[in-house]
Every structure is written in C-alpha cells, then in structure tokens.
Structure 1
Amino acid sequence: MKKIGFLSFGHWSPSVHSQTRSAADTLLQSIELAVAAEELGADGAYFRVHHFARQLASPFPLLAAVGARTSRIEIGTAVIDMRYENPMYMAEDAGAADLIAGGRLQLGISRGSPEQVIDGWRYFGYAPPEGESDADMGRHHAEALLEVLKGEGFAKPNPRPMFPNPPGLLRLEPHSEGLRERIWWGASSNATAIWAAKRGMNLQSSTLKDDETGEPFHVQQAAQIRAYREAWQQAGHTRVPRVSVSRSIFALVSEQDRIYFGRSGQEADSIGFIDERTRAVFGRSYAAEPDALIEQLRADEAIAEADTLLLTVPNQLGVAYNAHVIEAILKHVAPALGWR
C-alpha cells in the first residue's frame, strides 16, 4: 500500500486560457479539489508555498478551510520556506489548523528554494546572524518550531495575569498533540536528509535534488531515502518515519489527456542550477497510456522506496480536470503497481 495525494503549486494567471485567473480562484478551487480528491479516495491534499508570486503563499487559512470541509484526507504543505517564518506564530497557526482538521495536518517545511525576489525574507524582517547563511537561518527557525511543538512550558507567567494560568511555565496555545511527529523536511541533498532524520522529521523529496553522483534522478533520490532511513535508525527514534516523493504523472485515458500531455517532451531528466553554486538534476515527467505508464513507474527506484506519492497537478486546468487526473492514477495505475 502506498499513500497517494496531490501537490498543487496554486498558480494563477489572468490569461483567458487559465481556469484560475485570480488569487481567489486559486484558493477556492484548492479547497474544492481537496474535497473532490477525498471523495475519489486519495490520501492527501498538499500545497506549495511561494512568496512574491502569483501562487499560494499563506498556507494556514487554506489548510484550516480544507480541514473544515473534509473529514479523512491528510492536508499538508510541500513545502513552507522557513527563512520567512516566525516559529512561535507558526506553531500557533499550525496548532489551530491541525485541531480544526482533527489531527490530519502533515506540515512540510524546508530551508527554501530560490524565490521571486532577492533575499525576500529580509522584507519579512529576518536576516541571518553574522557569519551564517540564509540556509542556516532557515534551519534555526525549523529547530525552534520543533522545540515549541513539543508542548512543554518555557515562558515565565505574569504574577498578575488577566486570566488565571495553569501552574508552572507556559507553553504556546493552542497545542495540538502529535503534530510534532507530523513535521516533514524537504531535502534536496543527502546531507540535509540525514540532518532531518537526526531531528526526527519525516522526509519530503521533490522532483529535483542536488546532482551529487551524476546518476539518473530516481537513482540518486532512492539513495537519498536509504541514507535518511539509515540515519533515522542510528538516531534511535522509535517510530517509523514517513517518506514522500513528488512526480508529474499523467495517465492518458482520454482525448483531452492526449491533447494536453501526449507530447510532453519531458521523458528524460534535465540538469540545471538552483543557485549560482548548486547543480541540480530535475526528474522527468511521466505521461503515457496506462499499460506503458505502469511499466515506466515500476522502474522508478525512488517511488518504490517511498511510502507516499504526491502527484503534482496542473491546477490552472480547473478542478474537474485535476480530479480526473487523480482518478485516472487511482483507477488505472495504482492497483497494478500494488499501491491499492
């Protein structure tokens, strides 16, 4: 069995060819797609966070709304850029969204990727300490979040408070029990995957990673997952960690599918740079008739290693078509691969 969810970047554009022409369209359709995905039997509704872009940016109102409209499906992010985040305020928002959803929040975070503006986190009031990088800052913010999510008191109470306090040091409220174990780290390198394992976070591995060996993307990603699990075991954690990978996968079962994706031209990995120094390998997309698609996916080593698969969806094509994309995988592909 493999959990299967969708991942939406939440793009919107005023173009007449887009079904999401405004931020409101994207937010409302994201909620409707999560409802539809739950009805189809999918396991997760995940959203990417990008600042200064015509995409989803503030995740917690959306996650709370999805949580209120659904009852079973996991809701999450993949990922929130921690360079922009106040860990204390984030812990309160996450706790509230998780309580509304009944403990279904799966919160993916990371040090972030290149953004739309230069050093965008500075506009949010953050800057790394002298001698450290913005990546270091993102990891420090993540560690602070993990600490407060434990639910332990740390703040000295006012001796003359407005409202009575429980005894001892105070924690942030609302606290959602168990959320600490549902934090995921989006790792692009083997080293950061190991770092996440040591700190007891689940692993999210995307459609790109640092090109560390020159091997095909899925081979490098599978090796990253194995290194993560080994580090997890060595750290002595008692629970079983979760690992997700993201893929663009389209089963061509209708003429509309063939028009959109029949000639995707992305049948091989590609190489690029995610910043001035880091060479990255970008994984291929999959688009084929179900029988051919099944054989292609069987050869993907990283999908085999992961327990969760996130299907990246073309959200600008609208709720109905994206629900069809998800249903086609669940119905025509997943059973043959033993995922259902």
Structure 2
Amino acid sequence: MKKIGFLSFGHWTPSPRSGTQSAADTLLQSIDLAVAAEELGADGAYFRVHHFARQLASPFPLLAAVGAKTSRIEIGTGVIDMRYENPLYMAEDAGAADLISGGRLQLGISRGSPEQVIEGWRHFGYAPAEGESDADMGRRHAEVFLDVLKGEGFAKPSPRPMFPNPPGLLRIEPYSEGLRERIWWGSASNATAVWAAERGMNLQSSTLKEDETGEPFHVQQAKQIRRYREAFAAAGHQREPRVSVSRSIFPLVSNEDRAYFGRGKDGDQIGVIDNMRAIFGRSYAAEPDRLVEELKGDEAIAEADTLLLTVPNQLGVAYNAHVIEAILTHVAPAMGWR
C-alpha cells in the first residue's frame, strides 16, 4: 500500500488559456480539488509555497479551509520556506490549522527554494546572524519551530495577567497533540536528509536533487531515502518515519490527455540552481499499461511510502480530478499501491 496525494504549485495568470485567472481562483479551486480528491479516495492534498510569485504563498488560511471542508484526507505543504518564518507565530497557525482538521496536517518545511527576488526574506524582517548563511538561518528557524511544537512551557507568566494562567511556564497556544511527529523536511541532498532524520522529521525528497553521483535521478533519490532511514534508526527515534516523493504522472486515457501530454516521454534534466549542479526527474505520460511498466523501474517511488502527484492546476478542477482518478483506477492497482 502507498499513500497517494496531489501536490499543487498553485499557479495563476490572466492568460485567457488559464483556468486560474487570479489568486482567488487558485485558492478556491485548491479547496475544491481537495474535496474532489477526497471523494475519489486519494490520501493527501499538498500545496507548494512561493513568495513574491503568482502562486500559493500563505498556506495556513488555505490549510484551515481545506480542513474544514474535508474529513479524511491528509493536508500538507511541500514546502514552507523557513527563512521567511517567525517560528512561534507559525506554531500558532499550524496548531490552529491542525485542530480544525482534526489532526490531519502533514507540514512540509525546508530552507526554501530559489527565489523570485533578491534575498526576499529580508523584506520579511529576517537576516542571517553573523557567520550564518541564509540556509543556516532557515534550519535555525526550523529547530525553534520543532522545539515549541513539543508543547513544553518556556515563557514566564506575567504577575498581573489579563486572564488566569495555568501553573508554571507558558507554552504556545493552541497546542495540537502529535503535530510534532507530522513535520516533514524537504531535502535536495543526502546531507540534509540525514540532518532531518537526526531531528526526527519525516522526509519529502525534493522534485530536484543535488547531482551527487551522476546516476539517474530516481537512483540517486532512492539512495538518499535509504540513507535517511538508516540515520533515523541510528538516532534512536522510536517510530517509523514517512517518506514522500513527487512525480508528474499522466495516464493517457482520453483525447484530451493525449493533446496535453502525449508528446513523448521526458528524460532527466541537469541544470545549475543556487550554484548547485542539480538533477530534475522526468515526467511520465503514456497509455496505462506502458505507464505501469515505466513506473515499475522507478526505484525512488518503490522506496517511498507516499507519492505526491504534481498537478497542472491551471487546467481546472475537473481535469485535475480526472488525472487523479485515472491514476487511482488504471495505475495504482496494477502497481500494488491499492
């Protein structure tokens, strides 16, 4: 069995060909797609976070709304850039969204992805400490966030509070039991995957990865996952960690599918991103029988317990629901995922 969800980047553009002309379109259709995915039997609704872009940027109102409109599906991010975050305020938002959803939040965080603007986190009021990189700052924010999610008191109460306090030091409220175990780290390298394992986070293996060996993307990603699991066990954590990978997968079952995605298969791509030689995984698009055979060769999908399907949100809710349904119907049973 494998959990299957969708991952939306939440693009919008005023282009007449876009099904999402505005931010409002994207937000409302994101909620509708989560509801549709739950009805189809999918396991997760995940959303990308990008600042200064015509994409989803403020996840917690969206996560809370999805939580209020659904009852079973997991709700998450992939990923929140921790360079931009106040960890304590974020813990309040995350606790509230998790309580609204009944404990279904699966929160992906990371040091962030390449930006639309130069050092955008400075506009949010954050700057690295002396001798610290922006990536270090993101990881520092993450560790503070993880610490306060434990629910332990740390703030000295006022001797003259507005409302009566419980005894002892005060914690961040609202507190949601178990959320600390449902935090994921988005990792693009073996080293950061090990770092996440040591801190007891789940792993979201990135849509791109540092090209560390020159091997195909899925092979490098599978090795990263295995190293992560070894480090998680070595750190002495008592639970089984979760691991997700994301893929663009399109079963060609209609003429519309073939018109959009039937132009032949893509291979891995190599590029330089943030001064790092990176490898990007291929997309999968084929008739269902052929698609299944191709997916059986993807080592990283086999290693992961969760598969996130990157969806073309600008094609609208109905089409994206069709893609999810096609995968659940034509691909998942043949792969042994259902």
* Same structural fold, with TM-score higher than 0.5 when normalized by the shorter chain: yes
Secondary structure of the equivalent of 1:273?
strand
Q: Does 2:240 align with 1:243?
A: no
Say which is worse superposed, 136-145 or 266-275, in terms of deviation: 266-275
Q: Counterparts of 2:19 and 2:119 in 1: how far apart (Å)?
A: 31
Match of 2:325 in 1: 327
Secondary structure of the equivalent of 2:79?
strand
Q: How does 1:1-340 map to 2 (within 5 A)?
A: 1-263=1-263, 266-275=265-274, 277-340=275-338
Structure 2 unpaired stretches of 5+: none
Secondary structure of the equivalent of 1:334?
helix
Q: Counterparts of 1:148 and 1:132 in 2: how far apart (Å)?
A: 22
Secondary structure of the equivalent of 2:102?
coil
Counterpart amino acid of residue 236 in structure 1? G
Counterpart amino acid of residue 74 in structure 2? E
Counterpart amino acid of residue 178 in structure 1? G
Q: Counterparts of 2:44 and 2:327 in 1: how far apart (Å)?
A: 14
Q: Are residues 125 and 266 of structure 1, via their aligned partners in 2, closer, same or farther at CA, if it must alter by over 3 Å?
A: farther
Secondary structure of the equivalent of 1:14?
coil
Question: Which string of whole-angstrom CA distances, capped at 9 and with x for unpartnered residues, describes residues 189-234 of structure 1?
Answer: 0000000000000000122100000000000000000000000010
Structure 1 residue 130 displacement after superposition: 1.0
Q: Counterparts of 1:28 and 1:225 in 2: how far apart (Å)?
A: 34
Say which is worse superposed, 316-325 or 266-275, in terms of deviation: 266-275
Question: Which string of whole-angstrom CA distances, capped at 9 and with x for unpartnered residues, describes residues 293-335 of structure 1?
Answer: 0000000000000000000000000000000000000000000
Structure 1 residue 274 displacement after superposition: 1.3
Question: Which string of whole-angstrom CA distances, capped at 9 and with x for unpartnered residues, describes residues 141-191 of structure 1?
Answer: 000000000000000000110100000000010000000000000000000
Q: Percent identity?
A: 85
Secondary structure of the equivalent of 1:196?
helix
Q: Are residues 266 and 290 of structure 1, via their aligned partners in 2, closer, same or farther at CA, if it must alter by over 3 Å?
A: closer
Structure 1 runs, 4 residues or longer, greater than 4 Å off: none
Counterpart amino acid of residue 26 in structure 2? T
Please give the root-mean-square deviation of Cα atoms over the aligned residues, in Å.
Answer: 0.5
- Report if the CA contact (8 A) 1:206-1:247 is conserved: no
Structure 1 unpaired stretches of 5+: none
Aligned residues: 338
Q: Counterparts of 1:256 and 1:135 in 2: how far apart (Å)?
A: 42
Structure 1 residue 44 displacement after superposition: 0.0
Q: Counterparts of 2:250 and 2:235 in 1: how far apart (Å)?
A: 38
Secondary structure of the equivalent of 1:294?
helix
Structure 1 residue 266 displacement after superposition: 4.8
Q: Counterparts of 2:79 and 2:94 in 1: how far apart (Å)?
A: 14
Q: Counterparts of 2:33 and 2:48 in 1: how far apart (Å)?
A: 15
Q: Counterparts of 2:231 and 2:117 in 1: how far apart (Å)?
A: 35
- TM-score (norm: length of structure 1): 0.99
Secondary structure of the equivalent of 2:213?
coil
Q: Counterparts of 1:65 and 1:238 in 2: how far apart (Å)?
A: 33
Secondary structure of the equivalent of 1:177?
coil
Q: Counterparts of 2:208 and 2:265 in 1: how far apart (Å)?
A: 14
Structure 1 residue 113 displacement after superposition: 1.0
- TM-score (norm: length of structure 2): 1.00
